[in-house]
Chain A
Amino acid sequence: GAGVSQSPSNKVTEKGKDVELRCDPISGHTALYWYRQSLGQGLEFLIYFQGNSAPDKSGLPSDRFSAERTGGSVSTLTIQRTQQEDSAVYLCASSLDKGRGYNSPLHFGNGTRLTVT
C-alpha cells in the first residue's frame, strides 16, 4: 500500500482480555517500530524490528507485551491480560533503514486507540 496501515483503528476490551494489534508497513521497508502514546504524553518507544528480528525490545513495559514480525513485513503487537493502564494509542512506523538518519525517516500509521474497561 501507499502508507503504513494499522488495524483495528479502535479497540475496546475488558480488563484481563488479550488483544492483538496489527501493522502493515510500507513495502520494502526493513525497519519497523512500535510506539505507545498515552493521553497528553509524547511517544514512548516499545520495540524495533530489523527484518524479522527485534534487536531492541527495551521499551516493552512488561512481559505481558510481546511482538513479532513475519516475512519481513506485517507485525503484530500482543498485549496479554490487559490492564486499564494499557489504554493508549499504539502507533507503528516503518522506514527503509534504521530511521535514525536524515535519508530514512519514519513513516507512521494512524495508530490503534486501545481502551481497556
Chain B
Amino acid sequence: AQTVTQSQPEMSVQEAETVTLSCTYDTSENNYYLFWYKQPPSRQMILVIRQEAYKQQNATENRFSVNFQKAAKSFSLKISDSQLGDTAMYFCAFSTGTASKLTFGTGTRLQVTL
C-alpha cells in the first residue's frame, strides 16, 4: 500500500520569506505522480503543482517549486516570496500509474504573518 507522510503539522512564515513543506512517500511502483494541493478556509482543494516521477526536472509554478528526490522518496514544496493569501492547509498527494485514486497526507497548516 502507498503511504504519504507530512511530518510538519503546522508551519509559520513571514510575508516575503521562503518556506519549505516536507513530504515523503512510500511505494514500490516505478510509475507514479505527485501533487501538492492547497486548502484555504473555503474548503476547496486547489491544485498547486504536480510532478511525474519519470521526469527528473523539478516542477515550478511561479512562486511554487518542488524538490523531488526520487531515491529518497521525498517531494517537498518551496514557496518563495510568501503572501498572506498563501495561508492554508497544504496536502501532499500521490497516485500510481494504475490506481484510480489519490492518496493524501495529513496536511501542513501554513500561516503567513506580517
Chain A contact residues, CB within 8 Å of chain B? 31, 33, 35, 40-43, 45, 48, 50, 55-56, 59, 89, 91, 93, 98-102, 105-106, 108-111, 113
**A43-B91 contact, Cβ under 8 Å, with A48-B101, A102-B50, A105-B47:** yes
Per-residue CB contact flags for chain B residues 15-30 toward chain A (1 = under 8 Å, else 0) read 0000000000000000
Q: A43-B91, A100-B33, A101-B33 are in contact. Are A106 and B104 (CB under 8 A)?
A: no
User: In the docked arrangement, what's the CA distance between A111 and B105, Å?
Assistant: 18
CB-CB under 8 A from B101, the residues of chain A are: 33, 45, 48, 56, 59, 99-100
Shortest distance between the CB of A52 and any CB in chain B (Å): 15
Q: Are B104 and A43 in contact (CB under 8 A)?
A: yes
Complex A-B: 17 CB contacts under 8 Å: A31-B100, A33-B101, A41-B107, A42-B6, A42-B106, A42-B107, A43-B104, A45-B101, A45-B102, A45-B103, A50-B100, A56-B101, A100-B101, A101-B97, A105-B35, A108-B37, A110-B42
Q: Measured between C-beta atoms, what is the minimum distance from A114 to chain B in Å? A: 12
Q: In B80-114, which residues have CB < 8 Å from any A CB?
A: 91, 93, 95-107
Alpha-carbon gap, A111 to B45, bound state (A): 9
Are B100 and A41 interface neighbours, CB within 8 A? Answer: no
The closest CB in chain B to the CB of A49 belongs to B100
B91 touching A91 by the CB < 8 A rule? no
Residue of B nearest to A111 (CB): B43
State whether A91 touches B45 (Cβ < 8 A).
yes
With beta carbons under 8 angstroms apart, the residue of B44, B95, B100, B103 that contacts A108 is B44
Q: How far is the CA of A48 from the CA of B100 in the complex (A)?
A: 7
A42–B53 Cα gap in the complex (Å)? 22
Q: Return the contact of B100 from the options A89, A98, A102 (Cβ within 8 A).
A: A98
Q: How far is the CA of A98 from the CA of B43 in the complex (A)?
A: 22
**A42 and B100: CB pair below 8 A?**
no
Question: Distance in Å from the Cβ of B8 to the closest Cβ of chain A?
Answer: 13
